[in-house]
Structure 1
Amino acid sequence: MRVLIATDAWRPQINGVVRSLEHMAEEAPRFGAEVIFLTPERFRSFPMPTYPEIRLSLTRPGIVARILDEVEPTHVHIATEGPIGLAMRLACSRQGRSFTTSYHTRFPEYVAARTPIPESWSYRALLRFHQSARAMMVSTPSLERELTGRGFRNIMRWTRGVDTTLFRPRNERVLDAAAPVFLYVGRVAVEKNLEAFLGLDLPGTKVIVGDGPSRAEVAVKYPAARFLGPLTGEDLARVYASADVFVFPSLTDTFGIVLLEALASGLPIAAFPVTGPMDVIGSSGCGILKENLREAALEALDIPHESCRAYGETFTWQESARQFFSNIETAHAGP
Structure 2
Amino acid sequence: MVGMARRIAVRKILTATAALRSAYTVSLASLLLSAAGLALYTWRPSGVVLMESFVWLVEAMSFGGLALAFKVAASRTIVYRARYEILRIESLAVLLAALASLAVSLAAATRNLFHDSSGPTPLLLAAYPLASGAASYLLERLSLRSLDRAGIDMVAVRMIAKKLGLDTVFEVSGGLAVVASNMIGTVLPEKAAVAAMSVYVAYSLLGAAREAAMHLVGVVPRSEYLSTFSKVEAVLRRYSRHQRIRRLRVESYGTFREVELWLEAPPDMTLGEAHREAMRIARLLVHEIPEILRALVVLVPERGREAPRSPRRGSGRAAARPATGSGRSSRPPEAPLQRGRPPRRSGASGPGGVGAGTPPPP
Asked if Structure 1 and Structure 2 have the same fold, meaning a TM-score greater than 0.5 normalized by the shorter chain, the answer is no
Answer 1 or 2: which has greater helix percent.
Answer: 2
Greater fraction strand: 1
Q: Normalising TM by the smaller chain, what interval?
A: under 0.3
Structure with bigger gyration radius: 2
Q: Give the TM-score of the pair, scaled to structure 1.
A: 0.24
